[in-house]
Amino acid sequence: MTAILVSACLLGQKVRYDGAAKTLADARLSRWAQKGWLHPICPELLGGLPVPRLPAEIEPGHDGASVLSGQGRILDLHGGDVTEAFLLGAKLAVDHAQKHGCKYALLTEASPSCGTDMIYSGHHDSVRRAGMGVVTAALIQAGVQVFSSERIEELASLIDT
């Protein structure tokens, strides 16, 4: 059976830092949910962060892989170091993916957790830069194929056969 780890906010759950969802209106998600393929998570909640919470970004010059290796940090809007919560969330996301046999993940782009191709600059200035979040880096290290919500077509081409 196909199993897909998916960002809970894409399914309409209000778990983002601002208490909102980032619902992905795509019929494929509904179809996959009906088949029991989706395993929703919010790594930031898994890591113990509340809703709402201060926005956080990976510091400039780093990405999820460097956070995993202990070289980078994730800082909230007021400069608070929330790296440990994000690392715990990444570990628990990987554990969840492995427990449920998820070979794929569909995650929210630009998040310091779930960004796959883009993350924010680290200056809290709304500017995006190339890079991946800490959960994406951890999932890739664990052998999970990760797709951003903006690349759902690619994921669908692999599983809708």
Beta-ladder partners of 40: 6
Per-residue pLDDT of the chain (161 residues; tens, 9 = 90+): 899 999 999 999 999 999 999 999 999 999 999 999 999 999 999 999 999 999 999 999 999 999 999 999 999 999 999 999 999 999 999 999 999 999 999 999 999 999 999 999 999 999 999 999 999 999 999 999 999 999 999 999 999 75
Report the alpha-carbon distance of residue 60 to residue 20 in Å, rounded.
26
Residues 57/120, Cβ–Cβ less than 8 Å: yes
